[in-house]
Amino acid sequence: MSTAVPVDPFQSFKAAQREGWTHFAPLEAFTTIAAPYVVRHARVHEGQRVLDVGCGTGVVAVTAARLGARVTGLDLTPALLERARENAKIAGVEIEFREGDAENLPFADASFDVVVSQFGHMFAPRPDVAIGEMLRVLKSGGTIAFATWPPELYTGRSFALTARYAPAPPPGVAAPPQWGDPRIVSERLGSAVKDIFFDRATLFAPALSPQHFRAMVERTAGPLIKMVQSLASEPAKLAAFRAEMDALTCEYFRDNTVRQDYLLTRATKI
């Protein structure tokens, strides 16, 4: 008698995510700047085995590998992994990149000394499942570290704005900026870790105007791409979103940059 394989209830949602993030590569110009902060925060050093969850174009993975770490990068989107492999080849580092799901990591228990994620794992629909998997593959005494967007600051607010105009996600999908709230992060990590430490850092994204920045992320950021597509037949509603987005961006725009503050988390697995 065969055993049925459980069906992922978020399979369609993840397929849409995989497609939506296909055009993310130009944003590596910004995430590259944040990558060394994440790597230093995680205290990565030579010889460690490191997993980068939601690795995107590999900016954190390459940064860690250049320090001598043995790095594996995992992402849901094949097009980004292709770019990541190209980035690693140019940098002259060897990294194993694998297509996969943060909620079902294809690695054995206690495989890594460090598990990191830069604005990646926060998009997994079920935080408890994703963090459970990240901790499962981490060795006892190992480090988990990640960068996320706080809900009360620019990027978190822009997610909330987008959600007001976008089709509702399936029931049970958590809002990504919740990962930027230290109280919620502490609850999600729970008793599996000790020595939780939080820090803040800032990413300054170049832009000629708030409108230029909004136009760029509409072409590259998965949630905005899907939201704009969903409003193709509602031009007035799309115009209203763009007006609100531009006004929000104005609050953080100065000297041709958009200020994006983010949260850094680090903890040790018990």
Instruction: Measure the CA–CA gap between 148 and 186, rounded to whole angstroms.
Output: 13
Q: How does pLDDT run across 105-150, given as a tens digit for each residue? A: 999 999 999 999 999 999 999 999 999 999 999 999 999 999 999 9
Q: How far apart are CA 163 and CA 224, in angstroms?
A: 9
Q: What residue spans define the domains of the chain?
A: 11-151+171-202+262-269
Entry pTM: 0.95
The domain defined by 11-151+171-202+262-269 carries CATH number 3.40.50.150: yes
The per-residue pLDDT for range 73-99, each reduced to its tens digit, is: 999 999 999 999 999 999 999 999 999
Instruction: Give just the sign of the alpha carbon dihedral 103, 265, 260, 93.
Output: negative
Measured in whole angstroms, the distance separating CA 4 from the mean position of its chain's CA atoms is: 32
State how far the Cα of 127 lies from the Cα of 137, in Å rounded to an integer. 16
Please, what is the end-to-end C-alpha distance for the chain in angstroms? 40
36: number of Cβ within 10 Å: 15
Contact in structure between 116 and 54 (CB atoms under 8 Å): no
